[in-house]
């Protein structure tokens, strides 16, 4: 027998460190520790056996992670910040103005560049984790400046989000978009990675019901990350960073509204103008080499479909009426190559007027229009989003102003067997009318059998006579019997599943059952709706 | 000094002090002063003066008197609008006075210039008065000067400031003087107050209806001045420039014109300034001490050493500063902060640090946010909207429980979509999840549930086994507790709670015989010996041996012969049972032959395979709950002197001299020959209800009230080879088929599950257990389902006894 092993010297006991111990080791306050964890992306880890790690009620971090944190140069900055706060407080309380100024001049600052690099060693890693960063930046871009949120970070968020949108427009990488009650969801394919983000509706958010410190810490990191990603994206796609407009001068009218350089910044926000490139005359799309392979055909086809999708709106000239939210719609339309404009007083940078005769589509979100121009379509905003999700230009009839819109479905729901699929609008109306007819037909059909039954009843009490009748062969539904048989066999086999697998088997079955129940509930509800509509239709027609 | 002069002075003094306090009191003091004046007027003719010539003031007073009194009257009304009507009533010689005042004024103006220019000259003229009044009250000053000039009195007077004050214009005593030097209360006495008007403290209103105001010292009436009419009043208002500062003294009925000094005083008080214009709030600092160096120290204490040694602390301070300056820290401190915006550059260059990637190998990425489904759309299909019930349920649920964290809504157009109030909260929660939520790498099992089902031979390949209910035996009126099959399988007996045992023919379902007992029948078992037809019946504390009266007649008669030839019971252990032969003819007709009486109710009987020994188990807990009877010797014995745990079942090994005793948790196997415990089978159950032994003897099954069925392979281990939990409720009975590889378990869920249990003679091959059929049919009564079951000895059939008072044959 070798040397006896002591308890707590190997395994989970040493691999995990509780939060309290970690704080003690790093000599930080809980607040600073949390901040560090947020910035460094360190998260608690659930040990497989908590008892072995040291108890049920604690949060555990990997000991390796904590050792890694101990070497973080930002910790010294945190300490410097603490001292700074102390000094500043003292200077303010003692009313030493000069001292205060000196202290303020020497406020410690830190940069998170190295952390970004550490957390995302490759560019693709960074893009993969972009979802939260984007959503947060887009949210912060709409927050009002307050004591909780400093204006610098809010402005920076706005700037970076506009840059990112410009990139998406420029690279035509938007894939899906969705109007939800929470906000606008967008999904883009950036460098082969799917990035999804959500932008709130254009209403004021306050953000004072949550812990602003945590939000700000996250945003601090996200801003750094998004900045570097923007830089890389712009430089990779031959664009100047920070973005510059390709045009030399802005509209005279807009220049009046906002002076000189500001106008150009505002023009970036319009998303309608092209950006300045580093090198001119680059091939926009690399051509796929022609191979005489069998597969090559498929590749070419998909590339062609992709190109078509990217230029979905390229032949459209769209005018946004003033009640239509400008930014999301400009963004989506521009991502697919449309020309977009709006009322000049809504936002600077309106390219053309409402009276322009070459406008093909006019997006309107009101039921009645005072005047109409004959050579353009007036459509409701949902048309744009539905077109993108359907990857083709949908017929505009269903989207005319004042017309009841077809349901707006989420493009993020994947088709799955057994899952509920809502009916399209045509299908719905067809079923309402069709079943109406069916019902009528049914009623006609059903009446005669009832009479027959009556007749049989009348014949019933005839006296029974002893007789031998020719026997009828009993019909055996072989399929059904076999089904029953196999079901029984399966049941018997299920009995013999070992306990270990039985739980898994049960949980899977339970989940399936729940799903099925949900689907059934939706189907039932739909049937009820159809019934009701049919009734309404009938009463309406009468 | 004359008395009049004194009194005037006193009045002045008095007026001064209260005057400083406030407007109202000042008024009264003024009145008093004026009263004093009027007194003087009256007194003037009297030879009161000691020095006629020399005392200029008295002369002055005399000459001034008329003017001044009129002056007062004129000034009275103008003072404030409040007093206007009162002054209307007054009468006097205003017209005359006005002229005088104007004259005075003119003179004042004339002298105003030169006075300022040549103070020296004036000093010579009237040095005392000039010096005193110069600073604060030019008007007054000038007037007095004029007066003096009028009277050609130019003798320099040596008087105290107070004296001088009074002298030029006694009746103007209302003007406040800064009383700097003398005691104000010197002349102040109450009896002197009434010199002018002696009415005392009587309110002046009392004289409103009289023509006089009061009385002088001599008791003569002091008359009110004549009232002026409206016209006069108006004219005065128009003409008199001092009208606005004229007030009426109610004590004397005279009008008093407030002097510039008075006005000044009022102004100062209104503004909250010090009433004394001479008072310097911030006097010039006069350095009295520091410029004169004292030659002697104030104390005799010797000077401390540190006072002449340079301070070390300061030295250190200076040294530090020098160091800081030299090292450039100071410069840095004062350098303003550089404006540094966020710089972005190409962070991801080609060279990647492999150490970073290595670290991230164990990184667990956070799961992405759930993507929105159709129900989150602003215009979802209608079926996704909540019904009122669903919405109420959503509100009642805890936020964590909810499937959706929002209520689906449908808006007919985009412009009606409101802002989502929980947006920030949602992002915040995501942030919390990212840094607070413990992560664990979990294998997502993409398991097809069908793969988990073990691959077993199909039941249809394992025929024969009972599958259908063929016969239902009805006749019992209560739960059928036990069933036992005859050796050949033609008949079987069933014991029931209705105190009867019935003998049935298996195939026809006909009840051949019914045997009644006193107590409910707990157990019946057919004797396995084929030579005799005997039934052991447990009912109450008795075990009855009954001749069933069916089957081969020879066997039946043989049985009776054998039973009668049995010797008398001898040598039974004490308390193990009392044997007795049934002699009652009725009972014998029914089939009763022998019976054994026990101390306790019997729960179970179990024949040895040869049909000679019979194990009996008591139902109630007892230290000696197991008795073994030997039929051939009519003898009983008690194998265990003491048995600690409660025995639930007992059974003999089919071939070997072994006894299986099932307690609540274990099955003990005793070797009866060696009289020792051979094996202990651990069932992992809490309440074993039944056991059965495979005909070959190496496998045992034990059913339990927890609905567990354990199969023991005695060669393998003492732990179950396989445990099956396919029943829903307690297992009541288990049994093996004697010929076919079948076993069955009867349960309170109303089913009998028949399973294929193949035991191979090859020791290396484990038994194959496949459930083949679930037999239903029995109805649950009083939470009891099937209470017993037994296989047909030769056919793959099974008979089950149900709590619904029926028996069923499945073939």
Say whether A62 and B362 touch across the interface (CB within 8 A): yes
Reported as half-sphere exposure (CB side, CA atoms, 13 A), residue B536 has a value of 25
Is A420 a member of any domain?
no
DSSP code, position B538: E
pLDDT recorded at residue A456: 45
Closest Cα in chain B, distance from residue A456 (Å): 36
Closest by CA position to A349, among listed A204, A247, A277: A247
Q: What is the mean pLDDT of residues A455-484?
A: 74
pLDDT at B340: 66
In a domain, A132, yes or no: yes
pLDDT digits 0-9 by tens, B130-150: 333 333 444 444 444 444 444
Q: Is residue B414 part of a domain?
A: no
Q: For residue A39, is the peptide bond before it cis, meaning its omega torsion is within 30 degrees of 0?
A: no
State the DSSP string of B288-343. -STTS--SS-SS-PPPPGGGTS--HHHHHHHHHHHHHHHHTHHHHHHSPPP--PPP
Task: Write out chain A residues lying below 8 Å of B458, CB-based.
Answer: 489
Which residue segment(s) compose the domain that A60 sits in? Answer: 12-72
Question: What percent of chain A shows pLDDT beyond 70?
Answer: 87
Q: What is the ipTM of this complex?
A: 0.89
Give the integer Cα–Cα distance in Å for B91 and B458.
144
CB contact under 8 A, A107 and B447: no
Beta-carbon separation of B769 and A185 below 8 A = no
Tell me the pLDDT tens digit for each residue of B495-539.
999 999 999 999 998 999 899 999 999 999 999 988 888 999 999
Q: What's the pLDDT at B708?
A: 92
Which residues lie below 8 Å from residue B710, measured CB to CB, with a gap of 6+?
A: B683, B684, B685, B701, B702, B704, B720, B722, B723, B724
Instruction: Please check whether residue B282 lies inside any domain of the structure.
Output: no
Q: What is the pLDDT of residue B53?
A: 41
Residue of B340, B356, B373, B377 to mutate, testing the A interface (most A Cβ within 10 Å of its Cβ)? B377
Average pLDDT along chain B: 77
For A21-73, what is the HEC assignment? Answer: HHHHHHCCCHHHHHHHHHHHCCCCECCCCHHHHCCCCCCEEEHHHHHHHHCCC
Cα B154 to the center of its chain, rounded Å: 96
Indicate the pLDDT class of residue B207, thresholds 50, 70 and 90: confident
B306 CB burial (10 A radius; 0-12, 13-18, 19+):
exposed
Is residue B320 scored above 50 in pLDDT? yes
What's the rounded Cα separation, in Å, for the pair B681 and B718?
5
Shared domain check, A429 and A391: no
Angstrom distance (rounded) from CA B467 to CA B490: 20
Domain count, chain B: 2
Q: Are B74 and B244 in contact (CB under 8 A)?
A: no
Residue A144 covered by a domain: yes
> How many angstroms away from the CA of B337 is the closest CA of chain A?
5
User: Is residue A281 a part of any domain in this protein?
Assistant: no
User: Going by C-beta distance under 8 Å and a sequence separation of 6 or more, which residues neighbour residue B282?
Assistant: none
Q: What's the structural domain count of chain A?
A: 4
**Distance between CA atoms of A37 and A26, rounded to whole angstroms?**
12
Please answer whether residues A69 and A55 qualify as being in contact, where contact means their C-beta atoms are separated by less than 8 angstroms. no
Q: Could you give the angle at which helices A130-140 and B423-436 cross, rounded to 10 degrees?
A: 140
Kindly report, residue by residue over A509-533, the tens digit of the pLDDT.
Answer: 999 999 999 999 999 999 998 888 8
| Residue A175 pLDDT > 70 | yes
Residues B590-614: tens digit of each pLDDT = 888 888 998 888 999 999 988 889 9
| A365–B414 C-beta distance less than 8 A | yes
Q: Give bridge partners of residue A511 from the DSSP assignment.
A: none
What are the residues facing B471 on neighbouring strands? B809
Q: Is residue B228 part of a domain?
A: yes
Average pLDDT, integer, range B767-795: 92
A340 Rama sector, left if φ>0, alpha if ψ -120 to 50, beta otherwise: beta
For chain B, the maximum distance between any two Cα atoms, rounded to a whole number of angstroms, is 191
Candidates B382, B389, B707, B768: best to mutate against A (most CBs of A within 10 A) is B382
List chain B residues with CB under 8 Å of A202. 419
Is residue A506 over pLDDT 60? Answer: yes
pLDDT of residue B332: 65
Same domain, A144 and A29: no
Spell out which residues of chain B touch residue A207, defining contact as CB-CB under 8 Å. Answer: 424
In a domain, B329, yes or no: no
- Name the domain boundary from B271, B298, B332: B271
Residue A2, domain member (yes or no): no
What 3-state DSSP class applies to B456? coil
Report the relative pairing of strands B521-526 and B535-539 from DSSP bridges: antiparallel
- Whether residue A299 lies inside any domain: the answer is no
pLDDT at B52 over 70: no
CA-to-CA dists, residue A348 to A270, A326, A533, angstroms: 7, 11, 46
Cβ of A200 within 8 Å of Cβ of B420? The answer is yes
Q: How far, in Å, CA of A321 to CA of A343, rounded?
A: 7
Specify the pLDDT at position B623. 64
The mean of the pLDDT values for chain A is: 86
Place of tokens 């906000």: A183
pLDDT tens readout for residues A255-307 = 655 555 566 677 788 888 888 888 765 555 555 566 555 566 677 788 888 89
Contact B57, B5 (CB under 8 A): yes
Residue B157, domain member (yes or no): no
Measured in residues, chain B has a length of 811
pLDDT band (50, 70, 90) for residue A245: confident
Chain B residues within 8 A of A509 when measuring between CB atoms: 449
Instruction: Say yes or no to pLDDT of A499 above 50.
Output: yes
Pair A200, A144 in one domain: yes
Residues A223 and A169 in one domain: yes
Q: What number of other Cβ atoms are within 10 A of residue B95's Cβ?
A: 16
Question: What one-character DSSP code corresponds to residue A454?
Answer: H
- Indicate which of A492, A500, A534 best probes the interface with B, i.e. most B CBs within 10 Å of its own CB: A492
CA distance A1 to chain B (A): 29
Q: DSSP character for B617?
A: E
- State what percent of residues in chain A have pLDDT above 90: 51
Rounded CA separation B796/B811 (Å)? 7
Q: Which of B254, B230, B289, B239 is nearest to B40 (CA)?
A: B254
> Within 13 Å and on the Cβ side, how many CA atoms surround B465?
25
Final residue before a domain boundary, out of B239, B271, B303: B271
pLDDT bin (cut points 50, 70, 90) of residue B81 is: very low
Predicted confidence at residue A463, as pLDDT, reads 59
Residues A20 and A125 in one domain: no
> What is the pLDDT averaged over residues B686-702?
92
Ranking A281-285, B117-121, B479-483 by mean pLDDT, the lowest is B117-121
CA-wise closest residue to B163 among B9, B282, B297, B359? B9
In a domain, A500, yes or no: yes
Q: Which of B246, B271, B296 is the last residue of a domain?
A: B271
Confidence category of residue A383, pLDDT binned at 50, 70, 90: very high
- How far is Cα B179 from Cα B161, in angstroms, rounded to an integer? 9
CATH number at residue A363: 3.40.50.10190
Mean pLDDT value of segment B70-93: 39
Q: Which span out of A267-271, B246-250, B742-746 was modeled with the highest average pLDDT?
A: B742-746
How many Å apart are CA A268 and CA A244, to the nearest integer?
8
Nearest CB partner across the interface for A123, out of B348, B364, B430 = B348
Measure A531 CA to nearest chain B CA, in Å: 13
User: Domain of B29?
Assistant: 3-95+167-271
Q: Look at B245 and B176; give whichever has higher pLDDT.
A: B245
In a domain, B396, yes or no: no
The continuous run of DSSP H or E covering B788 comes out as: strand B786-791
pLDDT tens-place string over residues B337-375: 666 666 888 888 877 777 777 777 888 999 999 999 999
pLDDT at B151 over 50: no
Quick one: which of B476, B470, B471 has its CA closest to B493? Answer: B476
A196/B384 CB distance under 8 A: no
In this structure, what are the phi and psi dihedrals at residue B268, rounded to the nearest 5 degrees? -60, -40
- Residue B711: inside a domain: yes
> Residue B2 and residue B55: Cα distance in Å, rounded?
9
A199 in a domain, yes or no? Answer: yes
Cα A78 from Cα A84, distance rounded (Å): 10
* Token reading at B482: 């036990």
Distance separating alpha carbons of residues B8 and B15, to the nearest angstrom? 10
Assigned domain for B659 exists: yes
Helix, strand, or coil here: B432?
helix
Distance CA A407, CA A412 (A): 15
Q: Which is nearest to B711 in space by CA: B677, B755, B668?
A: B755
């Amino acid at each position: 027998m070798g040397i006896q092993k002591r308890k707590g010297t190997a395994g989970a006991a040493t691999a995990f460190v509780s939060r309290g111990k970690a704080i003690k080791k790093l000599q930080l306050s809980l607040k600073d520790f949390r901040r560090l964890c947020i910035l460094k992306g360190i998260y608690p880890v659930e040990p497989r056996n908590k008892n072995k790690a040291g108890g049920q009620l604690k949060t555990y971090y990997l000991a390796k992670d904590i050792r890694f944190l101990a070497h973080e140069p930002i910790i010294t900055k945190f300490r410097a910040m603490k001292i700074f706060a102390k000094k500043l407080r003292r200077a303010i309380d003692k009313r030493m103005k000069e001292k205060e100024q000196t202290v303020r001049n020497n406020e410690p600052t830190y940069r998170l560049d190295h952390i970004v690099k550490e957390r995302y060693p490759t560019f693709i890693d960074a893009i993969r984790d972009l979802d939260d960063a984007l959503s947060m930046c887009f949210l912060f871009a709409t927050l009002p400046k307050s004591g909780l949120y400093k204006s610098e970070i809010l402005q920076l968020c706005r700037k970076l989000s506009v840059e990112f949108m410009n990139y998406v427009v420029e690279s035509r990488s938007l894939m899906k978009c969705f109007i939800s009650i929470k906000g606008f969801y967008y999904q883009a394919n950036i460098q082969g990675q799917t990035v999804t983000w959500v932008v709130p509706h254009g209403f004021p958010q306050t953000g004072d019901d949550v812990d602003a410190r945590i939000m700000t810490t996250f945003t601090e990191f996200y801003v750094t990350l998004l900045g570097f990603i923007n830089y890389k994206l712009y430089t990779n796609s031959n664009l100047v960073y920070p973005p510059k407009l390709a045009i030399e001068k802005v509209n005279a009218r807009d220049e009046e509204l906002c002076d000189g350089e500001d106008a150009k910044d505002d023009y970036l926000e319009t998303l309608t103008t092209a950006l300045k490139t580093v090198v001119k005359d680059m091939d926009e799309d690399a051509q796929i080499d022609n191979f005489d392979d069998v597969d090559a055909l498929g590749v070419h086809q998909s590339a062609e479909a992709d190109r078509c999708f990217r230029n979905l709106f390229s032949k459209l000239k769209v005018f946004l009426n003033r009640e239509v939210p400008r930014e999301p719609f400009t963004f989506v339309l521009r991502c697919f190559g449309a020309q977009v404009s709006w009322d000049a007083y809504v936002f600077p940078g309106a390219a053309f007027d409402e009276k322009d005769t070459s406008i093909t589509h006019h997006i309107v979100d009101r039921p009645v229009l005072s005047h109409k121009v004959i050579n353009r379509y007036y459509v409701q905003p949902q048309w744009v989003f539905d077109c993108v999700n359907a990857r083709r230009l949908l017929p505009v009839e269903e989207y005319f102003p004042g017309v009841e819109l077809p349901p707006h479905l989420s493009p993020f729901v994947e088709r799955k067997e057994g899952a509920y699929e809502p009916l399209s609008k045509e299908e719905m109306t067809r079923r309402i009318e069709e079943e109406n007819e069916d019902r009528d037909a049914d009623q006609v059909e059903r009446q005669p059998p009832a009479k027959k039954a009556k007749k049989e009843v009348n014949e019933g009490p005839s006296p029974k006579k002893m007789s031998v009748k020719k026997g009828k062969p009993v019909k055996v539904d072989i399929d059904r019997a076999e089904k029953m048989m196999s079901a029984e066999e399966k049941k018997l086999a299920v009995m013999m599943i070992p306990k270990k697998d039985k739980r898994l088997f049960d949980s899977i079955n339970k989940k399936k059952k729940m799903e099925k129940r949900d689907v059934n509930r939706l189907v039932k509800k739909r049937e009820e709706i159809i019934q009701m509509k049919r009734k309404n239709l009938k009463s309406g027609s009468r | 000094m004359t008395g009049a002069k004194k009194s005037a002075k006193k009045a002045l003094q008095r007026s001064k002090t209260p005057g400083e306090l406030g407007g109202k009191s000042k008024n009264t003091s003024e009145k008093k002063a004026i009263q004093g004046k009027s007194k003087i007027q009256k007194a003037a003719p009297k030879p009161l003066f000691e020095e006629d010539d020399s005392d200029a003031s008295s002369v002055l007073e005399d000459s001034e008197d008329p003017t001044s009194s009129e002056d007062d009257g004129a000034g009275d009304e103008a003072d404030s609008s409040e007093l206007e009507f009162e002054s209307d009533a007054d009468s006097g010689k205003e017209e005359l006075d006005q002229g005088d005042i104007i004259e005075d004024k003119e003179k004042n103006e004339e002298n105003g210039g030169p006075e300022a220019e040549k103070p020296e000259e004036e000093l010579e003229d009237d040095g005392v008065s000039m010096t005193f009044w110069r600073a604060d009250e030019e008007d007054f000053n000038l007037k007095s000067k004029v007066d003096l000039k009028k009277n050609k009195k130019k003798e320099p007077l040596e008087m105290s400031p107070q004296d001088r004050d009074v002298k030029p214009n006694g009746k103007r005593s209302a003007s406040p003087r800064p009383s700097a030097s003398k005691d104000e209360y010197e002349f102040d006495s109450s009896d002197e107050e009434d010199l002018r008007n002696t009415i005392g403290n009587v309110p002046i209103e009392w004289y409103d209806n009289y023509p006089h105001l009061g009385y002088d010292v001599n008791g003569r009436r002091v008359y009110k001045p004549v009232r002026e009419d409206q016209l006069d009043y108006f004219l005065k208002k128009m003409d008199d420039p001092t009208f606005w500062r004229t007030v009426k003294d109610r004590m004397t009925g005279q009008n008093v014109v407030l002097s510039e000094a008075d006005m000044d005083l009022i102004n100062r008080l209104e503004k909250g300034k010090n009433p004394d214009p001479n008072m310097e709030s911030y006097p010039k600092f006069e350095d009295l001490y520091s410029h004169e160096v004292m030659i002697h120290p104030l104390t005799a204490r010797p000077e401390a050493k540190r006072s002449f040694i340079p301070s070390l602390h300061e030295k250190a301070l200076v040294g530090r500063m020098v160091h800081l300056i030299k090292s450039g820290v100071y410069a840095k401190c004062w350098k303003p902060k550089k404006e540094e915006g966020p710089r972005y550059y190409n962070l991801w260059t080609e060279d990647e640090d492999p150490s970073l990637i290595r670290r991230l190998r164990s990184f667990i990425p956070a799961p992405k946010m759930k993507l929105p489904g159709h129900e989150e759309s602003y215009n979802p299909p209608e079926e996704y909207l909540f019904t009122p019930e669903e919405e109420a349920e959503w509100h009642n649920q805890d936020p964590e429980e909810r499937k959706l964290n929002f209520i689906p809504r449908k808006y007919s157009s985009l412009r009606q979509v409101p802002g989502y109030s929980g947006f920030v909260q949602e992002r915040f929660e995501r942030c919390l999840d990212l840094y607070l939520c413990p992560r664990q790498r979990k294998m997502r099992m993409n398991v097809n549930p069908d793969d988990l089902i073990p691959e077993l031979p199909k039941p249809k390949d394992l025929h024969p086994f009972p599958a259908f209910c063929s016969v239902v035996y009805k006749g019992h009126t209560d739960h059928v507790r036990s069933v036992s099959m005859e050796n050949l399988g033609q008949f079987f007996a069933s014991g029931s709670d209705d105190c009867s045992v019935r003998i049935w023919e298996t195939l026809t379902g006909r009840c051949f015989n019914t045997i009644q007992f006193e107590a409910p029948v707990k157990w019946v078992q057919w004797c396995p010996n084929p030579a005799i037809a005997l039934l052991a019946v447990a009912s109450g504390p008795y075990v009855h041996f009954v001749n069933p009266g069916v089957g081969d007649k020879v066997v039946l008669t043989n049985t009776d012969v054998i039973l009668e030839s049995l010797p008398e019971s001898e040598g039974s252990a004490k308390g193990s049972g009392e044997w007795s032969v049934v002699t009652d003819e009725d009972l014998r007709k029914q089939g009763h032959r022998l019976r054994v009486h026990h101390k306790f109710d019997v729960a179970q009987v179990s024949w040895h395979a040869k049909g000679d020994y019979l194990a009996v188990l008591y139902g109630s807990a007892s230290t000696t709950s197991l008795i073994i009877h030997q039929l051939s010797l009519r003898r009983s014995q008690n194998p265990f002197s003491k048995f600690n745990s409660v025995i639930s079942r007992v059974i003999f090994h089919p071939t070997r001299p072994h006894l299986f005793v099932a307690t609540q948790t274990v099955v003990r196997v005793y070797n009866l020959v060696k009289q020792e415990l051979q094996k202990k089978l651990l069932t992992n159950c809490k309440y074993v209800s039944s056991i059965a032994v495979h005909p070959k003897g190496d496998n045992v099954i034990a059913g339990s009230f927890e609905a567990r069925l354990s199969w023991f392979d005695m060669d393998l281990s003492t732990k179950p080879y396989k445990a099956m939990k396919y029943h829903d409720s307690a297992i009541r009975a288990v049994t093996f088929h004697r010929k076919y590889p079948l076993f069955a378990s009867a349960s309170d869920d109303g089913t009998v599950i028949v399973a294929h249990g193949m035991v191979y003679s090859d020791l290396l091959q484990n038994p194959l257990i496949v459930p083949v059929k679930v037999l239903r049919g029995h109805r649950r009564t009083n939470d009891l389902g099937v209470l017993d079951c037994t296989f047909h000895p030769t056919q793959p059939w099974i008979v089950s006894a149900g709590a619904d008072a029926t028996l069923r044959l499945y073939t």
